[in-house]
Amino acid sequence: MFDFENLEVYRKAKDLNREVLHFLKENKRIDSYIRDQLRRASISIVINIAEGSGKFSKADKRNFYTTSRGSVYECVSLFELIFGENEITKEKFNNFYLKYEILSKMLLGLINSQK
């Protein structure tokens, strides 16, 4: 087993990525650029947590976790754009928003633990 597989934040990010990919498959009307950006940012959260966990120095780990957190922010802003275009219900938007908020806090904890 790899270290990142033991991280709760990794498991949550992976589950949320699965939800996002499912959402995108069901909502093909969303602008293709926004769809691509959301898919990439969602995947970036997961893979940067995994890559960061494999680094040896705290500074390297912190950089990858920080990048992952930046991708969380990117996903939230993309969902705000999607919501602004009436391509997602308020309930679904709030569901994604809450999950990203939790991920952001968990990643901040990881970032702060690497000082």
- pLDDT tens, per residue, the chain with 115 residues: 999 999 999 999 999 999 999 999 999 999 999 999 999 999 999 999 999 999 999 999 999 999 999 999 999 999 999 999 999 999 999 999 999 999 999 999 999 999 8
Whether the CA torsion 22, 23, 24, 25 is positive or negative: it is: positive
Q: Which fold has domain 3-113?
A: de novo design (two linked rop proteins) (1.20.1440)
Contact 53, 14 (CB under 8 A): no
Q: Domain segments of the chain: what residues?
A: 3-113
* pTM passes above 0.95: yes
Could you give the dihedral angle defined by the CA atoms of residues 3, 109, 96 and 44, in that order, rounded to the nearest 10 degrees?
-50
